Every structure is written in C-alpha cells, then in structure tokens.
Structure 1
Amino acid sequence: MIKLNDYLYDGETIFRILQKYIDDLEENALATHNQIDLVHCSFLETIYELLEHNEFLTSQSQRIREFYKYMVVEYPYLAFTFKGRIKSIIRAEEKFNRYIVDFIYDYYQMYHHFPALQEIKEKLSCFRDLLAYRIVISLPKCHLQEGQDREEEEIKLLYEIANKLPSFLEDQGFTIVKANTTGRECSELLDMSLWTTYRDYVYKPTSAGYRSLHLTLFDDMARCHVEVQLRTKSMDDSAEIGVSNHLRYVESQEQQKNRRIEIPKGECKYFDEAYDRVVSLENIDLSELDVNMFTAVNNSLINDGCGLFRGRQILPFEHLSRFQNGLVD
C-alpha cells in the first residue's frame, strides 16, 4: 500500500514529496482499479495547486484584513489576533483518510453492510477547510465591572462579532456556505438568521471539550472554500496546547481501535487502507522527519513547509488593546 509516511525521510521539498506520492499513488490505483485512491490523488493535487499557485492569498488576506481594521475601531478595548494557515500535508492526509474510516464505519453501523463505491466518493467531496483563518479575542481584566465574569463577557463579545462577520465578508466578495445544522445546536446569542450558517462548538462543545465557532465561505474571486474560526484565547489555548488537544488525540486513538475491532481486517479494503494510513500518521515521530523546508521551485520563493511564501503573508495581524497591561491612560 502507498502511504505518505514513506516519502517524508529523504530530505525532499514539500512539492517533490507531494508529486512523488501523487505519481506513485495514481500508478498503483490504475493498476489495482482503486477508484478511491484516484479521488485521493485529486485531493492531493488540489493541495499541490493551492501551495504552488497562491497569489490569490494576497488579495484574500487583504479583504479579510478589512474586518480586522473594522474591529480595531469598533473594539479598541479588546486584544485580538487574526491568524491564517494552509492545513499541513500530514494533517490534510490524515483527515482525508479519517473521513473514509468514519463514513464507512457509521454507514456499516446503520445499515449492517458497506456503502457503495459511489457513496464513498460523494462523501469525499466535502473538504472546505484546507485554507482557514482564525480570530482569537481576549478581554483585559480592567474592563470588567464588579461582579462580571471574564469568560462570560468574552463569549458575549464573541457572538456579537460572529453576528457581524458574515454580512461584512459578503461585501468583500465571499459567499456564505450553509452549515449542516438545524439551529438547535446554536446559542441564543447568535442571531437566529445565522443558525444554519455557523457550526457552534461554543454552545455545544465536542466530547473532547473543543470550543469554537466555525463559518465556511466560498471566495468568489479565488474560487475556493475558506473556513473562519472564532474563539476566545482560553478556547484557543485549550484547542492548541491544552486539555482539548490532548483529549482529542486520546479519544481518536481509542475510537480507531474500537472501529478496527468492529470491522475486522479484510472485510472492506477501502476501510483497511484508510485505517492503516490514519494509524501510521497518528504514530509518526515528527522529530525523525527529514523534509527540506527551505528549498523552493526557484530562488525568488521560500517554501516553509506550509505553502506560505515570501511576499505572500496570510496574516497574522494582532491588535493589543492599550489597556492590555491593565493600566488605564
């Protein structure tokens, strides 16, 4: 079986790693008539093109920066940061294969047989977060009135910002993509008209305690999907380096083991291959990887391993309230 892991130890650039992996995966898929791996190749080619042809990021980040400028004026007392990222190759590969594992498992649990090939292929057309921006806010303690709870006030501000963001970005050339939600999972602090727009993990956290508001957009100018996440600093810390991050990893490990038990090896080759790729990536020792992060296709570009190039700043912007140190002018 062709796995990404086998291409990460030769000191190659991200582009050469991706191209070799795509070529070998496609050759094997054609030889074995594996249509899911052909879809897999198309997914990887999308990432390659996103990394190689990223001139649109300048325009896109400038348009999103307009909301940053709006917040600087509207919320001078808030500290906040705007971050942007292209999902790493390893995490994108892991997510693609996890989608296959999860879909086949859930389908099998519901119908007691495996989904048709076409149903799996249709499920794999839903990736919309390869490119994402994050807004993280923090309210300085000096702005709290007696009796106010900092977390509660930050959450109110988070929803206030969330209520304004969609219409603002529509004016900047983005189209809102409806979320798969009925609205029953959304806080009343969110405008009712937006209940089918956001995925509200603040009101209804995941089982690992992850909290964030997610908004999916289609950039009409760049012709690609973008995800925007809104969090407080405590939510961001928990998701990136804290309890939620750890619990998600532990939960994922246990979940994969249980699914392997319920669907024994040999029952469904698409499940087997995706499962093996997920486990291999989860267990990878990042310290042992040998990836050339600083060689590019030409000398005018620098590839940092995430697809971000010199002159292509995909944020971040940061606003520190003048009250950030707790002193009032």
Structure 2
Amino acid sequence: MIKLNDYLFSGDTVLKILLQYSADLKDEAIKNHNSIDMAHSNFLIQIIEILEHTEFLTSQSRRINEFYMYMANKYPFLAFTFKGRIKSLIRAEEKFNGYILEYIYDYYLAYGKYPNEAEIKNNLNFFRDLIAYRIVISLPQCHVSEQDKRVERELKYLYEIANVIPDFLEERGFTAELSGLIDINGSKFLTENNLPYYRDYVQNPRSSGYRSLHITFYDNFARCYTELQLRTKDMDDLAEIGRANHIGYEKQQEENRAKRDIIPKGKCKIFDEAYERLIKLQELDLAAVNVNMFMAYNNQLINDGCGLFRGRQILPFEHLSRFQDDRIGKSL
C-alpha cells in the first residue's frame, strides 16, 4: 500500500508530490480493481487543479471581497478579518481518510456489517471545503462598558451578517447548499429561510468547545464548492490557539483508536488502509520532512511556504474599527 508519507522526503515541490502520488494511486487502483483508490486519486487531482489553475480564485476572491466592502460600510464600528485558504495537502489527506473511517464505523454500528465499495465511494462525494473563507468579527472594548454586553452585541452582529450572506452571494454567482442537518435546537437568530443552510456550532458547540457558523456554497462561475465560516474573535482564538484546537486533535486521535478497537485489523481492507494512512500522518515528525519551500523546527514552529501543512492563504483582509482609537469611547 502506498501512502503520502512515502513522498514527503524527496525535496520535491507539493505539486510534484501530488502529481506522483495521485498517479501511483491510480495505477494501484487499476491493478487491484480498487474504486476507493481511484476516488482517492481523483480527489487529489482536484487539489492539483486548484494549484495549477488559480485564475478562478481571482474571480472568486473579488466577489467575496465585495461582501468585505459591504461590511466595512455597514459596520464601521466593528473590527474584522477576511481570510481565504486552500486546504493543505496533509490536512486534506487526513480528512479524506478520516471520512472513510467514520463512514465505515457508523455503517457497521448501524447494520452490523461493512459497506461495499460503491457505498463508500458515494459517501466521498461530499468533500466540499477544499477552498474556505473565514470572517472573524470583534467589537472593540472602547465601544462597550461591560464584557457581557460586548459578547451579546457581537453575537447579534454575527447573526445579522450570517442572514445577509446567502442572498448577497447568490446575486454574485454562488448557490447556498443545504446543510443536511435537521437541527431541533436551531438558532432563533437565523431567519427561517437561512436556517437550513447553516451548520450552527455557536448555539450547538462541539464537545471541544468549538463554536462557529458554517455554510457551503457552490460557485457557478468556478464550478467548485467553497465553505464560509463566521466567528467572533473569542471563538476564533478558542479554535486556533485555545483548548478547542488541542482537545479536538486529541479527541480525534482517541476516536480513531476506538474505531480500530471495534473494527479489528483484517476485517475490512478499506478501513485498514485508511486507518494506516491516517495514523502515519498523525505520527509524522514535520521537522524531518523534506519538501521544497517547507521548513519546520517542530510541529508548532513551521514556515509553510507551499501549503503543505496549514494551508495556502488566498484572501488576507483586515478591517480595523473606524472608531477603535476614539478616546471618547462612546457606547453604541
């Protein structure tokens, strides 16, 4: 079985690694009549297309930027950032194999047997966040006298923005995708029309404490999916540098080991291969990796010049509150 780790020590560029890894997976799939490896190869080709043909990102970023300009005019008192990223190679590979584990595990618990290749392959068609944008808002303390008021108002503005986004982007060639969630505890702050499109982890936080609003769009111009995330700065800090980041990673590893305990080695070949690929990546010492434009002293101190680990940033915009330095500090 071939795995991504085998290609990360050659000194090649990320693009060359992707081309070789996807080609080898395709050859392996044809040789062994393995439709999952073929789907895996085709998934990697999507990333190759993004890296080789970036002109659509210019159009997409420009249209997303129009919403940035809308916010700057509508909310001059807010500070906020817009960031866009292409999911990195290692993260994408981890997620692809993680989807396989999760689907087979859930299927086995539900039916007491393993899904066939066609069923697994069909489940892999829902990978829709290779490209993602994030909006992080903050109401500077100079505008409010109490911390509780700040949190309350930030939430109000966050949902206001969330309710505008679907129609705004629809006019610019995007189509909002149904979340597929039937959420009994759906947020009262989302309008009835918008509720079916959002995955609301603000009102329904994950076990790690992670909070965010997620919505997926299909870009009819670029013919690809993109995800949009909305958070307050406190939520973003928790997710990126706080306990949600650490706990989420540890919890994911524990869950994968628990799945392995339920599905012993040798019972399902597709599960075995996805599990080995995922675990090898999670055990990877990034400081030992040899990829062009990439340098890491350890798994925290990383200079990612090629989108290998953290993802390539494509839309970095930052808007400071127009009144952030106002010494009067009037409350809104």
**TM-score if structure 2 supplies the norm length?**
0.92
**Alpha-carbon offset, residue 42 of structure 1:** 0.5
**Alpha-carbon offset, residue 314 of structure 1:** 2.5
For 1:225, the aligned partner's letter is Y
Aligned equivalent of 1:187: 187
Assess if the C-alpha contact under 8 Å between 1:183 and 1:195 holds in 2. no
Q: Which aligned pairs between 1:283-302 and structure 2 lie closer than 5 A?
A: 283-293=283-293
What is the total number of aligned residue pairs between the two structures? Answer: 317
Aligned equivalent of 2:101: 101
1:222-265: CA deviation from partner (whole Å, max 9, x where unpaired): 11101000001111111111110001111011111111111000
In structure 2, the CA distance between the partners of 1:26 and 1:322, relative to structure 1 (3 Å rule), is same
Assess if the C-alpha contact under 8 Å between 1:84 and 1:133 holds in 2. yes
1:164-209: CA deviation from partner (whole Å, max 9, x where unpaired): 1111111111111111122424210111211101000111011111
In structure 2, the CA distance between the partners of 1:146 and 1:41, relative to structure 1 (3 Å rule), is closer
Aligned equivalent of 2:26: 26
Q: Which aligned pairs between 1:249-288 and structure 2 lie closer than 5 A?
A: 249-288=249-288
Rounded Cα–Cα distance in structure 2 between residues aligned with 1:169 and 1:133: 13
Rounded Cα–Cα distance in structure 1 between residues aligned with 2:148 and 2:238: 22
Residue 301 of structure 2 is aligned to residue 305 of structure 1: no
SS at match of 1:205: coil
Q: Which aligned pairs between 1:66-85 and structure 2 lie closer than 5 A?
A: 66-85=66-85
**Alpha-carbon offset, residue 327 of structure 1:** 2.6
**Alpha-carbon offset, residue 148 of structure 1:** 4.6
**Alpha-carbon offset, residue 147 of structure 1:** 7.8
Assess if the C-alpha contact under 8 Å between 1:105 and 1:259 holds in 2. yes
For 1:157, the aligned partner's letter is Y
Aligned equivalent of 2:209: 209
Rounded Cα–Cα distance in structure 1 between residues aligned with 2:70 and 2:265: 54
Show structure 2 runs of 5+ residues with no match: 295-303
Aligned equivalent of 2:118: 118
Rounded Cα–Cα distance in structure 2 between residues aligned with 1:158 and 1:207: 22
Assess if the C-alpha contact under 8 Å between 1:163 and 1:194 holds in 2. yes
- Identical columns (%): 57
Rounded Cα–Cα distance in structure 2 between residues aligned with 1:327 and 1:159: 28
Rounded Cα–Cα distance in structure 2 between residues aligned with 1:87 and 1:283: 20
Rounded Cα–Cα distance in structure 2 between residues aligned with 1:185 and 1:225: 27
Aligned equivalent of 1:297: none
Aligned equivalent of 2:300: none
Aligned equivalent of 1:298: none
SS at match of 1:231: strand
**Alpha-carbon offset, residue 284 of structure 1:** 1.1
Show structure 1 runs of 5+ residues with no match: 295-302
Aligned equivalent of 1:143: 143
Assess if the C-alpha contact under 8 Å between 1:159 and 1:189 holds in 2. yes
Rounded Cα–Cα distance in structure 2 between residues aligned with 1:267 and 1:24: 25
Aligned equivalent of 1:171: 171
Aligned equivalent of 1:128: 128
Rounded Cα–Cα distance in structure 2 between residues aligned with 1:324 and 1:287: 40
Aligned equivalent of 1:86: 86
**Alpha-carbon offset, residue 322 of structure 1:** 2.8
Aligned equivalent of 1:242: 242
**TM-score if structure 1 supplies the norm length?**
0.92
Assess if the C-alpha contact under 8 Å between 1:170 and 1:176 holds in 2. yes
Stretch of structure 1 that moved more, 193-202 or 143-152: 143-152
**Alpha-carbon offset, residue 146 of structure 1:** 5.4
Stretch of structure 1 that moved more, 92-101 or 280-289: 280-289
Aligned equivalent of 2:49: 49
Assess if the C-alpha contact under 8 Å between 2:85 and 2:313 holds in 1. no
